[in-house]
């Protein structure tokens, strides 16, 4: 642990300084903080990268600890030591997703897999597979459109939301033999 990091953490702990109410904790600062700076009597500062996701926790899909879809948010925190006020500045927020993990989480998760497989079989045996597909999956598509609209109050860029939905629909169509 760097000297600056040690001093920042010690100051926050020993002085019982209230942290910003954006979800930052001493644990997150300790494990994910970077760019630690301290000027005695003036300020302390650090940077955090966080990964808000619409999933309950980062997935362990396929043995990997990674969320299928999440934001990468880099935020600078600066505390004025005179009046104990925080200045919180978000540097960047980018969204990304892993197509394989999104498919796995949305189509192959235990709670959904069986229902989706049944609907695919219904589509495959229908007289009008295209109509059956629409009937079977329109509500799923609406669900994904809502789910991927935002992540904890952050809007997902439209092009990426549409790409995720297109990915899922194309995978369903492929599984149903509609190519």
| Every domain of the chain and the residues it spans | 3-97, 99-175
What's the predicted TM-score (pTM) here? Answer: 0.78
Residue 66 has pLDDT above 80, yes or no: no
pLDDT, tens only, 45-63: 999 998 888 775 444 445 4
Segment (H or E) for 140: helix 129-147
Residue 173 has pLDDT above 50, yes or no: yes
Residue 53's pLDDT is 83
Q: Which of 34, 32, 40 is nearest to 7 (CA)?
A: 40
How far apart are the C-alpha atoms of 77 and 86, rounded to whole Å? 7
Residue 107 has pLDDT above 70, yes or no: yes
Residue 99 has pLDDT above 80, yes or no: yes
Q: What percentage of the chain exceeds 90 in pLDDT?
A: 80
Residues 19 and 12 sit within 8 Å (Cβ to Cβ): yes
Q: How high does pLDDT run on average in the chain?
A: 91
């Amino acid at each position: 642990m760097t000297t600056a990091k040690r001093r920042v953490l010690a100051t926050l702990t020993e002085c019982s300084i209230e942290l910003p109410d954006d979800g930052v904790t001493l644990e997150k600062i300790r494990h994910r903080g970077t760019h630690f700076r301290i000027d005695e009597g003036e300020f302390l500062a650090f940077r955090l990268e966080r990964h808000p996701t619409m999933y309950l926790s980062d997935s362990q899909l396929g043995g990997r600890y990674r969320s299928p879809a999440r934001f990468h948010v880099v935020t600078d925190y600066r505390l004025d030591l005179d009046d104990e006020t925080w200045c919180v500045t978000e540097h960047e927020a980018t969204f990304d997703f892993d197509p394989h993990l999104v498919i796995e989480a949305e189509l192959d998760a235990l709670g959904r897999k069986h229902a989706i497989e049944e609907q695919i079989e219904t589509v495959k045996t229908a007289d009008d597979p295209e109509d059956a597909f629409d009937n079977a999956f329109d509500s799923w598509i609406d669900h994904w459109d809502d789910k991927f609209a935002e992540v904890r109050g952050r809007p997902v860029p439209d092009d990426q939301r549409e790409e995720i939905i297109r990915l899922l629909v194309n995978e369903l169509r492929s599984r149903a033999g509609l190519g």
